[in-house]
A and B are shown apart, each in its own frame.
Chain A
Amino acid sequence: MSAPARGDAVILDPPGPEPVGLGRFGEYGGRFVPETLIPALEELEAQFRVAWHDDDFRQEYAGLLAHYAGRPTPVTECHRLSERLGLRVLLKREDLTHTGSHKINNVLGQALLTRRMGKHRVIAETGAGQHGVATATAAALFGLDCTVFMGAVDVERQALNVWRMKLLGAEVVPVTSGSATLKDAVNDAMREWVASVQSTHYCLGSVMGPHPFPWMVRELQRVVGDEARRQCRELLDGADPQYVIACVGGGSNAMGTFAGFVDHCPDVQLIGVEAGGLGLETGHHGAAMTRGVPGVVHGMRSLFLQDEDGQVLEATSISAGLDYPGVGPEHADLGARGRARYETATDDEAVAGFQLLAETEGIVPALEPAHAIGWLAREAGRAVPTGSTVLVTLSGRGDKDAAQLMERLGEL
């Protein structure tokens, strides 16, 4: 394997709780898909359940995370940002993984499962292109064929990642239907899966879609939260942060982060930050937790932005990865139970967060986690009291967004 480990071994915590019944998190979740896909989902569920308790599988997965993806990722104490905000801010550095975002954690697990199921091809949807790049990377590593569906609008704003995927040997299919963004890429990936399900695994990129994906992807991302919990306790003399914050698109980096705290640390406040777009009042945003209503789309019962008939609305966000009108079902349940809180940051606040982290810490975040930074900057001393200790998951690095931000910000 190519990349060196960072020294520490990757420790996988024991498997977390399974959803109840047919993939239910409270009233959310489920498996609402065409009949054609049912056997494949049943097989995937069975295979993952066995593999996830199998020492050989776990060892191989942990080895890939260490030697290929470069885990464990550090938790960085942000001294200058902390001073600026009057908080103690810690960052979980998923931006330092191979391919530059948390998405790699999920795809390495799913690539192992693909091989285990004897399939030779993966398909994926992508918004920002990070999941597409991660999938194309794992496909190259495992010698799998790979097709990535990407909204035509996103192909435009994430040109660098399109090129990277092609370099890695993947076929990139621009999707022009609907809003030509992530929602439509999911639609087309599902349609392609209906046609190719016997040879192909759908490597879904977030904690969404039909059972078992929301559960499986959370389990494959929980290494983020489990590592962070231990690292925080080391940094904080055995204490936990008071607030744990992550951005929410479909919700995988947030769910992976929350999984490390939700049961272990009942006093830790979990906060997900969604895309506020042009502002909630404008109706142009991606805030499914905040403004969505229950519905059944993309195989799951969850919260979606919809009109009064149940037609799904287009989301709006500066960040392709948060430009999705739905959210994973476990978030819908955490929100319903009040165990996690969901807030929003606007495009402008995300851009401010992007610049703030660059200037104070020398870290350029992806636009998605820049929403979490932007929200924190706005709420420091307000919703987050001065002196609080806060962990923010920095889900990815900002290289992919440089061209877009250069256009928006102009000469600096």
Chain B
Amino acid sequence: MTGVADPTNAPAANTRAASEYGPLETRLRERRADGRKLLVPYVTGGLGKDWVDVVRACAAAGADAIEIGIPFSDPIMDGTTIQEASQRALDIGATPVSVIEQAAGADVDVPLAVMTYYNLVAHMGHERFCEALRAAGIAGAIIPDLPLDELRLGGYDEAARHHDVETVLLAAPTTTDERLADICASSRGFVYGVSLLGVTGERTSLADSARRMGERLKQATDRPALLGVGISTPDQAAEAAACADGVVVGSALVRRLLQSGGPDEAQSFVALLRRALDAA
């Protein structure tokens, strides 16, 4: 940490007004304060004509926020399920602008964050990207190949702060404690703890590293800390949420959508996740 004050660790943090945070973080903090475990499903934008209905279904089934993937041709943090979904969405014409504009029409009472790769952001331009998100009412952005150092160097950070785009940073099992503190301080919305060494995709059980990741995050910050990558079933979600504030579930939902599932399928799966988290 190079002299960057961590507002979440400062003694005054608890007395800050909620408006200090953007809509994504505000909502997640409120829900957490209600004693609720947080659920953030991931949906590939542009995957089928009814993908916005899928987003609405997730909201109706109890999501606390929703991640919308903007498909990229070379998603290096994604396993085969999300690769396939991205390719399918691209094949039927999804573009960054179309996904953002369609998401704007979702009209859900749940904060949205896009998840995409930096090349698409760089191509739109930092300003235009952030303006487009704001105009669409999208609160946050997750850009897994834009790590902390590059985020600060290239001017993205300034644009995001200027336009109040809450940019969620990822922490990994390999992240050092020193970097972890920096990531927690700089992240907005929540901190995304990568639960295992690997890319997105379903796993048969929760990785041992998930618990450790959750514990480290909870120790490092009071910003909402969610675990994601590899969390595949309601049981795994509950298990992961026990050591963090909540979970992100992507491939398990997207696989159902790829297997010709639509909004109904999404709604019932997200409801199952919700129930498991509420019962935990």
Q: B197 — which chain A residues lie within 8 A by C-beta?
A: 36, 194-198
Beta-carbon contact of B95 and A296 below 8 Å: no
**Given that A177-B83, A296-B119, A311-B90 are known contacts, is A35 also in contact with B150, CB under 8 Å in the complex?**
no
Q: B224 — which chain A residues lie within 8 A by C-beta?
A: none
- From A195, A198, A298, give the contact of B199 (CB < 8 A): A195
**Given that A178-B74, A194-B77 are known contacts, is A34 also in contact with B172, CB under 8 Å in the complex?**
yes
Q: B175 — which chain A residues lie within 8 A by C-beta?
A: 35-36, 38-39
Q: B90 — which chain A residues lie within 8 A by C-beta?
A: 311
- The interface-forming segment of B21-29, B57-65, B139-147, B269-277 is B139-147
- From A38, A190, A309, give the contact of B120 (CB < 8 A): A309
Size of chain B's interface in residues, with CB distance under 8 A? 44
- The interface-forming segment of A25-33, A89-97, A255-263 is A25-33
B15 interfacial by beta-carbon distance below 8 Å:
no
A138 interfacial by beta-carbon distance below 8 Å:
no
Q: B186-227: which have CB < 8 Å to A?
A: 194, 197-199
Beta-carbon contact of B147 and A33 below 8 Å: yes
User: Smallest distance from the beta carbon of A238 to chain B beta carbons, Å?
Assistant: 44
B137 interfacial by beta-carbon distance below 8 Å:
no
Beta-carbon contact of A31 and B170 below 8 Å: no
Beta-carbon contact of B72 and A311 below 8 Å: yes
Q: A197 — which chain B residues lie within 8 A by C-beta?
A: 174, 197
Beta-carbon contact of B147 and A39 below 8 Å: no
Beta-carbon contact of B170 and A35 below 8 Å: yes
A167 interfacial by beta-carbon distance below 8 Å:
no
B16 interfacial by beta-carbon distance below 8 Å:
no
Q: A194 — which chain B residues lie within 8 A by C-beta?
A: 76-77, 197-199
Beta-carbon contact of B144 and A309 below 8 Å: no
User: Which residue of A has the minimal Cβ distance to B90?
Assistant: A311
B112 interfacial by beta-carbon distance below 8 Å:
no
Beta-carbon contact of B122 and A36 below 8 Å: no
Beta-carbon contact of B145 and A191 below 8 Å: no
Besides the contacts A306-B119, A311-B72, what 19 more A-B pairs have beta carbons closer than 8 Å?
A22-B150, A33-B76, A33-B145, A34-B77, A34-B194, A35-B172, A38-B179, A39-B174, A39-B179, A177-B80, A178-B74, A187-B76, A197-B197, A294-B122, A298-B76, A304-B119, A306-B123, A310-B124, A311-B120
Beta-carbon contact of A34 and B122 below 8 Å: no
Q: Interface residues, chain B, CB within 8 Å of chain A? A: 72-80, 83, 87, 90, 95-97, 118-120, 122-124, 144-150, 153-154, 169-176, 179, 183, 194, 197-199
With a 10 A CB-CB cut-off, give which of A30, A183, A194, A312 has the most chain B CB atoms.
A194
User: Smallest distance from the beta carbon of B122 to chain A beta carbons, Å?
Assistant: 5
Size of chain A's interface in residues, with CB distance under 8 A? 38
A169 interfacial by beta-carbon distance below 8 Å:
no
Beta-carbon contact of B171 and A309 below 8 Å: no
Beta-carbon contact of B199 and A38 below 8 Å: no
A40 interfacial by beta-carbon distance below 8 Å:
yes
Beta-carbon contact of A310 and B120 below 8 Å: yes
In the complex, 23 of the A-B residue pairs with CB atoms within 8 angstroms, ordered by the A residue number, are A21-B153, A31-B147, A31-B149, A32-B150, A33-B147, A34-B145, A34-B194, A35-B170, A38-B172, A39-B175, A39-B179, A177-B83, A177-B87, A178-B74, A191-B76, A191-B78, A194-B76, A296-B118, A298-B76, A301-B122, A306-B119, A310-B72, A311-B120
Q: B75 — which chain A residues lie within 8 A by C-beta?
A: 187
Q: How distant is the Cα of A32 from the Cα of B143 in the complex, in angstroms?
A: 10
Q: How distant is the Cα of A296 from the Cα of B150 in the complex, in angstroms?
A: 11
User: Smallest distance from the beta carbon of B71 to chain A beta carbons, Å?
Assistant: 8
Q: How distant is the Cα of A155 from the Cα of B78 in the complex, in angstroms?
A: 23
Per-residue interface assignment for chain A, residues 216 to 258, with 1 indicating a CB less than 8 Å from any chain B CB and 0 otherwise: 0000000000000000000000000000000000000000000
Q: How distant is the Cα of A312 from the Cα of B75 in the complex, in angstroms?
A: 11
Q: A279 — which chain B residues lie within 8 A by C-beta?
A: none
Q: A275-331: which have CB < 8 Å to B?
A: 294-299, 301, 304, 306, 308-312
Beta-carbon contact of A22 and B149 below 8 Å: yes
Q: B122 — which chain A residues lie within 8 A by C-beta?
A: 294-296, 301, 310
User: Which residue of A has the minimal Cβ distance to B175?
Assistant: A35
User: Which residue of A has the minimal Cβ distance to B176?
Assistant: A39
User: Smallest distance from the beta carbon of B232 to chain A beta carbons, Å?
Assistant: 16
User: Which residue of B has the minimal Cβ distance to A199?
Assistant: B197
Q: How distant is the Cα of A381 from the Cα of B179 in the complex, in angstroms?
A: 58
User: Which residue of A has the minimal Cβ distance to B83?
Assistant: A177
With a 10 A CB-CB cut-off, give which of A22, A32, A39 has the most chain B CB atoms.
A32
Q: How distant is the Cα of A146 from the Cα of B253 in the complex, in angstroms?
A: 34
Q: A309 — which chain B residues lie within 8 A by C-beta?
A: 95-97, 120, 123
Q: How distant is the Cα of A138 from the Cα of B275 in the complex, in angstroms?
A: 53
Q: B176 — which chain A residues lie within 8 A by C-beta?
A: 39
Q: Which 4 A-B pairs have the closest CB atoms?
A: A310-B123, A195-B198, A36-B172, A311-B73
Q: A30 — which chain B residues lie within 8 A by C-beta?
A: 150, 153-154
User: Which residue of A has the minimal Cβ distance to B71?
Assistant: A311
User: Which residue of B has the minimal Cβ distance to A299?
Assistant: B145
Beta-carbon contact of A191 and B174 below 8 Å: no
User: Smallest distance from the beta carbon of A359 to chain B beta carbons, Å?
Assistant: 41
Q: A36 — which chain B residues lie within 8 A by C-beta?
A: 172-175, 194, 197
Q: How distant is the Cα of A309 from the Cα of B95 in the complex, in angstroms?
A: 7
User: Which residue of A has the minimal Cβ distance to B173?
Assistant: A36
Beta-carbon contact of A295 and B179 below 8 Å: no
Q: How distant is the Cα of A312 from the Cα of B90 in the complex, in angstroms?
A: 12
Q: B149 — which chain A residues lie within 8 A by C-beta?
A: 22, 31, 38
**Given that A183-B74, A198-B197 are known contacts, is A35 also in contact with B183, CB under 8 Å in the complex?**
yes
- From A22, A183, A195, give the contact of B153 (CB < 8 A): A22
Q: A198 — which chain B residues lie within 8 A by C-beta?
A: 174, 197
Q: B173 — which chain A residues lie within 8 A by C-beta?
A: 36
Q: B78 — which chain A residues lie within 8 A by C-beta?
A: 191
Per-residue interface assignment for chain A, residues 171 to 183, with 1 indicating a CB less than 8 Å from any chain B CB and 0 otherwise: 0000001100001
Q: How distant is the Cα of A193 from the Cα of B149 in the complex, in angstroms?
A: 20
Q: A191 — which chain B residues lie within 8 A by C-beta?
A: 76-79, 198-199
Beta-carbon contact of B194 and A35 below 8 Å: yes
Per-residue interface assignment for chain A, residues 71 to 109, with 1 indicating a CB less than 8 Å from any chain B CB and 0 otherwise: 000000000000000000000000000000000000000
